[in-house]
Amino acid sequence: MLFRLFLSLLVSHGVVSVNPGFRIELSEKGLDYVRQVAMPILVKQLQNLAIPDQSGSAGTPVGSIDYSLSDIKLTEFSIPSSSLTIVANTGVQVGASGVSVHLSGHWHYREHSWPHISDSGSCDVSASSISLSTVVGVGADSSGRPTISANSCSFNIGKLDIDFHGGASWLYNLFSGTIADGLKGSIEGSVCSAAKDAINTQGNKALATLPVEEKLTSNSEINFELIQAPIFTSSYLETLHKGEFLYIPHPSTEIPFEPSPLPTAAASNSMMTIWITDYIVNTAGYVYQEAGVLQINITQSMLPSGIPISLNTTSFKPLIPELYAKYPNEAMQLFLTSTSAPYINITSGFINVTAPGRLVAYVRVNETTLVNAFTLGLTMHATGHASLRRNGSQEMVIGNATYLRSDISVVASNVGHFEATSLEAAVNLLYQIGVIPLINKYGAAGFAIPSVDGVTFVNPVVAQGEGYIQISTDINYNPSSLFSEELISLHRDKVDQLANEGGIV
């Protein structure tokens, strides 16, 4: 447990109440990349979009008729160019120009008067001079997960042309302008409805894959929930996360300190910047200390083979002759425990850990009996650094310890007087050749940075500052599926509902 804790002290990440311990900023470049990814998704969502049936009455040279247009489907929808503008304190406005729309459908008419002549055929619809604009906002739900919503939508068709085929299509062409006016409004409403569905449903479906708890072990996790709704400035989107360590068997432990302020965001050439503070690792140390789990019994079987020190009084004979004289050639066991929570400090050069503790040395005089030989006071000082490693689709923060030593004092002795300095070299050698490799074995496993499914980092750069680790990176989005049939069905159900209510004319 102690080794795993030390690893977490080197590599964990997080956030909290007033100031975040974990912060993400998506730059204008990053938001524009989201636009580039979202547009093909939106276009695909609108392919084969069903438009509510149209019906009405009209006067013609052959008398009054009832007419209808049915089975109207959008057969082509393209957005050759689009743009994104950040609206501070609101969200982003996405606009499109040069939009191309084509539809197909069936027509039918019936005369009011006898002999009630009727006819039917097909039609093609093309629209031009189209503009599309939507404002998208980001919020947070009750669980601290980000949400997305299309706050407004405008889809304006400048010109609509209908070409009728078959039967008495010449008759329809006589009043195609009247039909076009009603159909134009229906298309505008249907496209905006489908676009908002795509953003609200597909966008939130993607955000739902962002974990708000990142599991570390079966008993521990990091809380990454939002501490407030995301913030839009004039040049970036910022999300502030709690990132507090939680020891699951003791979930109610209150943390008596808060994270330090992070530096103000600076202009970045990267799409995304992540700040990981030392708050989370300090909460890990505090929670573990309060739970009383920062302790370990060290036996000979736990030490790497081939090291020149063994847990036997014979190995300690040159260092503590009185120990060997009292218990010659007896096996030993060590009990290492913390006396207060470890403290972690991230600087521009290193991650530094200070961990006060106590080491009790026992001698095993028989199979069932341990006797207390001596007790040492320890203040462990560790140095390491963090880096990134990709594991499949996950980006992992991993830790590497490069230095570990202890200040030692004798607290009590049952084998006579000896100087603590006689053990410092041996203990620190044990750290270098035995403990550090074990720590780094766990460190190589790392912890995942919470991310939306399908997002990977491109050319990430890791830097350390006073109290934080900063990751600047571009991103790539490649989800397992751009669209689901449930989305298409969702919109079709809405169209059916509109049709049952009389349609949009």
Instruction: Tell me the DSSP string of 130-173.
Output: EEEEEEEEEEE-TTS-EEEEEEEEEEEEEEEEEEEESTTHHHHH
Residue 54 bridge partners (DSSP) = 69
Q: Report the distance separating Cα 102 and Cα 180, nearest Å.
A: 13
What's the confidence (pLDDT) of residue 15?
Answer: 35
Closest CA to 164 of 112, 117, 118, 108: 108
| pTM listed for this prediction | 0.79
Closest CA to 1 of 278, 302, 283: 302
Which two structure tokens, joined as six digits, stand for 325?
């004289």
What's the confidence (pLDDT) of residue 434?
Answer: 67
Locate tokens 């995301």: which residue? Answer: 230
What's the confidence (pLDDT) of residue 26?
Answer: 93
Q: Report the distance separating Cα 389 and Cα 400, nearest Å.
A: 12
The domain 29-208+476-500 is placed in CATH, from the list 3.30.540.10, 3.40.50.720, 3.15.10.10, 3.30.420.40, at 3.15.10.10
Closest CA to 14 of 328, 172, 246: 246
Q: End-to-end CA distance of the chain, in Å?
A: 68
Show the 3-state SS of 429-490: HHHHHHHHHHHHHHHCCCEECCCCCCEEEEEEEEEEECCEEEEEEEEEECCCCCCCHHHHHH
What's the confidence (pLDDT) of residue 62?
Answer: 64
CATH number, domain 2-21+211-346+348-465? 3.15.20.10
Using DSSP bridges, classify how beta strands 22-27 and 236-241 pair: parallel, antiparallel or unpaired: antiparallel
Using DSSP bridges, classify how beta strands 54-60 and 63-78 pair: parallel, antiparallel or unpaired: antiparallel
Q: Are 237 and 138 in contact (CB under 8 A)?
A: yes
What's the confidence (pLDDT) of residue 267?
Answer: 67
Closest CA to 315 of 300, 337, 335: 300
- Domain 2-21+211-346+348-465 shares a fold with domain 29-208+476-500: no
Per-residue pLDDT of the chain (505 residues; tens, 9 = 90+): 434 443 444 443 333 347 899 999 999 999 999 888 888 888 888 887 888 998 888 776 667 778 888 999 988 888 888 999 998 888 999 998 888 899 999 988 888 777 777 888 898 999 888 989 999 999 888 888 899 999 889 999 988 888 888 877 776 776 677 788 888 888 999 999 988 988 888 888 888 888 888 887 778 888 999 999 999 988 899 999 998 988 888 887 788 899 988 888 766 789 999 999 999 889 988 888 888 888 888 888 887 777 777 899 999 999 899 999 999 999 999 998 999 999 999 999 899 989 999 999 999 998 889 999 999 999 989 899 889 988 877 888 888 888 888 899 999 999 999 989 888 887 887 777 767 876 787 677 777 888 888 889 999 999 999 999 999 999 998 876 544 444 334 334 443 443 344 333 2
What's the confidence (pLDDT) of residue 429?
Answer: 78
Q: Report the distance separating Cα 278 and Cα 386, nearest Å.
A: 12
What's the confidence (pLDDT) of residue 58?
Answer: 73
Q: Are 15 and 224 in contact (CB under 8 A)?
A: yes
Domain residue ranges in the chain: 2-21+211-346+348-465, 29-208+476-500
Which two structure tokens, joined as six digits, stand for 123?
């039609």
Name the region of 225 (left: φ>0; alpha: ψ -120 to 50; beta: rest).
beta
| Torsion angle, alpha carbons of 479, 485, 491, 495, to 10 | 160
What's the confidence (pLDDT) of residue 211?
Answer: 84
Residue 150 bridge partners (DSSP) = 136
